[in-house]
A and B are shown apart, each in its own frame.
Chain A
Amino acid sequence: MNTIEVDHLKRIYRAQIGVFKRSIKEVVAVEDISFEVKAGELFGLLGPNGAGKTTTVKMLTTLSIPSGGAARVAGFDVVKQANEVRKRIGFIFGGERGLYWRLTGDDNLRYFASLYGVDPSVSKKRIPYLMELVGLQGRGNERVGGYSRGMKQRLHVARTLLHDPEILFLDEPTIGLDPVGAREFRSVILNLQSQKKTILLTTHYMFEADALSDRIAIINKGVVIAMDTPSGLKQHVSDLSVVEVETFGASEAAIEKLRALPFVDALSIEDREQKQMLLVQTVRGAEAVPDVIAALEGQRVGRVIVREPTLEDAYVRLVGSQS
């Protein structure tokens, strides 16, 4: 049974520009997106900045009106039956905002519990349970302004679970968290997944999507360019290997020379402080290494590794082929 049904959804933003001669500027945030999410599934939405991920989530959470297409959440239309949808969903938009910093953690939860119609006798028991679930036990009577970023994001999770929603929309929930905080957060998401919640997760972190998602849709420029299980998406690059080359200040010319080699399928660069990691996708595997090194002649080269492709490599290939 599908819990979320998205059918050719479209969103155009219109903004007035100019002071004396006013004109309307249109920006297409979502061009044409369709997908379905089954009950109890954790569905990942991946894409570069500006791809339309957050806009899609805003439409599904009734906070934004689609310009075209339709969407149903828990069987209800997100525009015509917005209030029915709201009763059944919880949502988190990444970051620290969206909480009352002058109130304590417990008071924030009591406030939102009231807005979601949770009976006070229920919320009295549920608030300590949720604070413990997200690892904030004993901190409920402190003002949220004094919480760390990770604590605030965990409080968001508690807030969104107050009315025990069937469906959760998590929009980049781990953004800005330190590695330990992000790991703890992922364990909370796994916990929710084990409770058979339907979760739509958007993230920039490929390993996070790979580890958590049952299925993933990759969107770019407002359209879905691929949709499959993580292992299914990796099949897009099953013919490839990745040669990782550590360089120190490699020149643009050398990188372009490398990119132009006929056996290079895709090349991405990760900047890591003083060095860059060049990720060369190629069908030739280890045999490509001598030619890669030769192309980087005159550059300072460190370690060279050949490895199997990951979801990130599949993402790079899919999004790269669109650019």
Chain B
Amino acid sequence: MNYLNLFRYWRTVLVVAEMSIRMQFSDGFVLFAIVFQPMIIAILALFMLKDKGPDFAMFVVVGSGLTGLWSSLLFVSGNSINVERWIGTLESLVGAPTPFDVIVFGKNLANVFQSLLSMVTSYTLAAFLFGYSLSLTQPLLFFITLLLSLFAFICFGITIAPLFIMYRSVQQWQNAMEFPVYIMCGFLFPIALLPGWTTPLSYLLPPYWAALALHGTSTTMMPFDQIAFSWMMMILFSVMDLIIASQLFKIMLYKARVDATLEVD
């Protein structure tokens, strides 16, 4: 994406996000992915870890929130392109003068902000249902990390979206893409528990750096240099994602117009 587009089309990004939220809040599946699924994961994890104390409860709260973020991005953002195709609006979006990646950015913005609901839901469950008193170890750094994480997730989602435009069969792989990221990125347990050969793969996934810094600033006194390194990695991956997405969108939208895949057969 041309970064200037984000500034030039900021108003459009906000309108797209607003309308996406309005539409999704009337969709039962989306509510399930964003609210109920993370709630179920949080309940299961909190039961399993109930003897381990409030630190683990906060770990679960943050971790289940991250699962909600990733599920939302994968299913809602990915499906949103196909939904646009099914309801016949994809052509109207592609045929509008606003760059398509700006529209997808707005949609992803809506999704990640809705996913914050997952974290709030899990927090409420842990605090009231299980009686934990939850507090953040480094609140200011946590909120900075949270904002950077949301941006990193949005950008990661933008690289996935073009694949859904061009290859309708990618949808079949959505379920297979959900849990490996939960596991590889250390959402609900540290990646140190995984075999050593998987660690480099985790480093290549932007959600890993988000999970590392969010867990570090919420449950432990993570040293600032490590937090800053995670921030840097998130920014680096976000920039790379936007550059890659920009090229993918150009290629794939052109190919979709050649192959006539903007509409349902």
Contacts and interface: CB of A to CB of B under 8 A. Distances in A.
Interface of A: 13-14, 58, 61-65, 83, 86-87, 91, 93, 95, 97-103, 107, 110-112, 114-117, 120, 159
A98 B93 CA distance: 10
Contacts of B97: 83, 86-87, 115-117
Contact of A114 (B11, B88, B92, B254): B11
A13 B88 contact: no
B171 interface: no
A103 B12 contact: no
10 contacts: A65-B254, A83-B97, A93-B88, A99-B89, A111-B15, A111-B16, A111-B19, A114-B16, A117-B97, A159-B92
Contacts of B96: 86, 112, 115-116
B88 to A, nearest CB: 3
Contact of A115 (B12, B27, B88): B12
Given A93-B88, A100-B87, A107-B19, A62 B11 contact: no
Interface in B85-120: 87-89, 91-98, 103
Interface string B245-257: 0000000001001
Contacts of B88: 93, 95, 97-99
Contact of B87 (A62, A87, A98): A98
A83 B5 CA distance: 14
B262 A63 contact: yes
A102 B23 contact: yes
Contact of A103 (B11, B22, B254): B22
B19 A98 contact: no
A114 B92 CA distance: 13
B22 A107 contact: yes
Contacts of A97: 87-89
A64 B98 CA distance: 17
Contacts of A120: 11
A58 B95 CA distance: 10
A115 B26 CA distance: 22
A313 B135 CA distance: 81
Interface residues of B, number: 27
Nearest to A92: B92
Interface string B1-20: 00000000001100110010
The CB with the most chain B CB atoms within 10 A, among A95, A98, A103, A107, is that of A98
B140 interface: no
A155 to B, nearest CB: 12
Given A65-B257, A97-B88, A115 B98 contact: yes
A133 to B, nearest CB: 19
B194 interface: no
Identify the 4 closest CB pairs spanning chains A and B, nearest first: A97-B88, A114-B15, A115-B96, A98-B88
Nearest to A29: B260
A90 to B, nearest CB: 9
B258 interface: yes
Given A117-B97, A117-B98, A100 B19 contact: yes
Contact of B19 (A13, A87, A103, A116): A103
Contacts of A83: 97
A98 B260 contact: no
Contact of A13 (B92, B98, B260): B260
A159 B93 CA distance: 12
A78 B254 CA distance: 12
B80 to A, nearest CB: 11
Contacts of B12: 114-115, 117
Contacts of A111: 15-16, 19
Nearest to A123: B15
A63 B254 CA distance: 9
Nearest to A159: B92
A63 B11 contact: no
A102 B92 contact: no
Contact of A86 (B19, B23, B89, B95): B95
Contacts of A103: 19, 22-23
Contacts of A101: 87
Contacts of B259: 14
Given A86-B95, A111-B19, 12 more contacts: A65-B258, A97-B87, A99-B88, A100-B87, A103-B23, A110-B15, A114-B12, A114-B16, A115-B93, A115-B97, A117-B12, A120-B11
B26 A93 contact: no
A97 B263 CA distance: 11
Contacts of B258: 64-65
A91 B95 contact: yes
Contacts of B98: 114-117
A61 B95 CA distance: 7
Contacts of A115: 12, 16, 93, 96-98, 103
Interface in B222-265: 254, 257-260, 262
B19 A93 contact: no
